[in-house]
Amino acid sequence: MPLFDQFDLAVHETGHLVTAFMPRLMMFMAGSAAQVLFPVAMAVYFWLRRRDLAAAGFCLAWAGTSARDVSIYTGDAIRQALPLIGGGEHDWAYILGPNGFDALEHTAGVAHAIETAGLVMAVGGVVLAAWPILAGRRDSLPAAEVGSERLPSDPDAWAAAAALPFKHDREAA
């Protein structure tokens, strides 16, 4: 999602920073991994902890679009035509090059596999977000009833506001 491109870049670069003390191959891989796994982790959180399918689906679709961006970067490993932020080495040229897996001839296949995984995540995210509607149910969390009666234990909002330690305009005059 173009809206998240700058954030994805920040997460990508953070992946490199967090793993800077590790071997170079792992550090180069961590940028793209973080870029995709961060929204996946958010999707898992929203699905399992919050039971919010819409948010989980959105995050999974975001991970899918992020994976597509990674696939474009991966596919550029041989030509290295994409501009690099801050210069330096091309992550995927290193990963697939002689210092990494020595598999530059498989660049197109790796990029295609990442793009396919991204498409699966994006479609899965849309389905997950739409599942309550598709299944004919409302959101998994019950909505509060509007105009429900107050409980005796509910505080009186006006009394609570009057007890605040602020000087009121009328008293100051």
- Tell me, yes or no, if the pTM score tops 0.85: no
Overall average pLDDT of the 156-168 stretch: 67
Residue 145: inside a domain: no
Residue 159: inside a domain: no
What is the Cα–Cα distance from 92 to 136, expressed in whole angstroms? 44
More confidently predicted of 133 and 169: 133
45 CB-near residues (< 8 Å, 6+ apart) = none
Residue 85: inside a domain: yes
pLDDT over threshold 70, residue 79? yes
Which residue, among 86, 73, 63, has the nearest Cα to 17 in the 3D structure? 86
The count of structural domains within the chain is 1
Residue 169: inside a domain: no
Q: Sorting pLDDT into bands at 50, 70 and 90, what band is 169?
A: low
What is the Cα–Cα distance from 79 to 48, expressed in whole angstroms? 42
Residue 166: inside a domain: no
Residue 110: inside a domain: yes
Residue 129: inside a domain: yes
Structural domain that includes position 133: 2-139
Q: Sorting pLDDT into bands at 50, 70 and 90, what band is 135?
A: confident
Residue 15: inside a domain: yes
Q: What per-residue confidence (pLDDT) applies to 125?
A: 98
pLDDT over threshold 70, residue 9? yes
Overall average pLDDT of the 27-43 stretch: 98
